[in-house]
Amino acid sequence: MELAYQLSFKMKMLETIAGSPVDLWFGYTQQSFWQAYNRDESSPFRETNYQPEIMAIAPIGKWLGGVDFRYAGLGFVHQSNGQTATLSRSWNRVYGELGAEYGKLAVTARIWKRLDNSRSDNDNLDITDFMGHGDLRLVYRDGGTEYSLLARRNLHTDHGALQLGWATPLRSNLKGYVQFFSGYGQSLIDYNYSQMSLGAGFLVGF
């Protein structure tokens, strides 16, 4: 039993770089897991993950078989938990991304390459065994209601994760949200621990 919250934002840093259609974006996500009900341990924050990233995005605008290929991108992302010694978890990745839409369905696919897997002092050298080398995101929008799926898989180790979400409007910028997660990597500290969780809460968008 714990409370979780996530703060995410994305902003455009440069537009039409050197006259090209490529825009440069900066994104940041922070996710915390708070054991608010654990009075015996003074209600600690069990884990906080920090994830800044830089993305170069170019529009595609091509239709193929009813699919609207919207954009392609390249990015660099760092993720860590800010801990030291044996509790430290971090990794750096470069990734390629493709975004497309088919009617009410939006699809985002990424494949990544880890950059820091040769460091001898790294406490999670095997993280890609559990987090895989890419992910697939599906979002189906029906009016204001959204159904989402996030899937990761390492085909060599048969480890991965599945996250399902359902969000429905309550007010203009507020949605009720239900999330189910099963697999590895819900948080960095648990990247190699398989778990299943069910949560309910709110989404606030601006």
Active site amino acids = 78, 80
Closest CA to 97 of 86, 109, 114: 109
The helix (run of H) or strand (run of E) holding residue 94 is strand 90-102
Q: Are 187 and 193 in contact (CB under 8 A)?
A: no
Structural contact between residues 195 and 159, judged by C-beta atoms closer than 8 angstroms: no
Residue type, 200: A
The answer to whether 41 and 35 are in contact (CB under 8 A) is: yes
Tell me how far apart the alpha carbons of residues 103 and 63 are, in angstroms, rounded to a whole number: 12
